[in-house]
Amino acid sequence: MKTIVIHEVGPRDGLQIEKSVIPTATKIAWVETLIGSGVDVVQLGSFVNPERVPQMADTEQLFLHFTAPGRTRSHAAFSALVLNEKGLDRGFACGVDYFCMGVSASDTHSRKNTGMSTDEALNRITAMAKRASAEGAKVQVSVQSAFGCGYEGRVPPKNVLRIVGRYLDAGLTMISLADTAGHADPSQVEDLFGTIHDLAPNVVSACHFHDTYGLALANCYAAFRAGVTSFDSAVAGLGGCPFTAVSGGNVATEDLVHMLQRMDLRHDINLDALTAAAKKAEEFLGRALPGKIHVTGPVPELAPV
């Protein structure tokens, strides 16, 4: 059994769609709780235009805080999303060593999200990823809208595989498929990841599912069955892409971890810490959030004695 990695994207994907800007001090306290839970990677933010996504304006501050000289090194890695060369330069300037970057398989979504066509974005992202790797950073490249698009509908698998092929040709083997619009179904997930693993057995595959239509956790299980080892999630089911037609939150981290623990995996992650973080997010935002386990608690046999 390969190690399952939990990549908490709440501080980035979870907050980017929120209208009220979360104070930096609140984010720091929240990230400390997430680190304490035992998740493997925390995505602190994205280096994007703060006028378009004001929630991400303090990403540099967060990285400088959590990677400050003299600070005890966290067991968790810290990742950042970048969309262009300027974002990559900003990331390097504040010490980022784990970059996530991607290309949408939907041309319409690509233009709304980045202002570039899919082909334009693919050329730029591939070059950026190769540069970041050459400079010693860990790089995960993704295919966004891999299972469907709110503007274009179903995305043909060949469109996804073309992008994956370009990544592989460039020597990029950490590859994520992102269900940006939440259109994926479990059979589709197994088929597409299975095809990729047959094409390139050395791929370290990751998944990123939104729960727009209630299938995110089922899709995570399908991805697990297909050999995926890294799972993006956000505490309490926060999040959603601001540049898709119908936006839904991410699979909730506490729900995903609860499922894994029911499968006798990742008992090292503190589910109580995750549920506490989810409840704090609800309190701060002043509304119920879509995750389940922070409301119901775990099934009785997993409850602390």
Quote the mean pLDDT of the chain: 93
pTM of this prediction? 0.94
Q: How many residues does the chain have?
A: 305
Question: Coil, helix or strand for 178?
Answer: strand
Please answer whether residues 141 and 122 qualify as being in contact, where contact means their C-beta atoms are separated by less than 8 angstroms.
Answer: no
Query: Residue 245 pLDDT more than 70?
Result: no
Name all domains of the chain by residue range, CATH numbers in brackets: 5-297 (3.20.20.70)
Please answer whether residues 206 and 7 qualify as being in contact, where contact means their C-beta atoms are separated by less than 8 angstroms.
Answer: yes
Model confidence at 85, pLDDT cuts 50, 70, 90, reads very high
* Catalytic pick among 100, 149, 207, 241: 241
CA end-to-end span of the chain = 28
The candidate with the shortest Cα–Cα distance to 108, out of 159, 168, 53, is 159
Say whether 241 is catalytic: yes
Question: Coil, helix or strand for 36?
Answer: helix
pLDDT on residue 94:
96
Residues 15-51: pLDDT tens digits?
988 888 999 999 999 999 999 999 999 999 999 988 8
Which DSSP state fits 149? B
Q: Which amino acid is at 63?
A: F
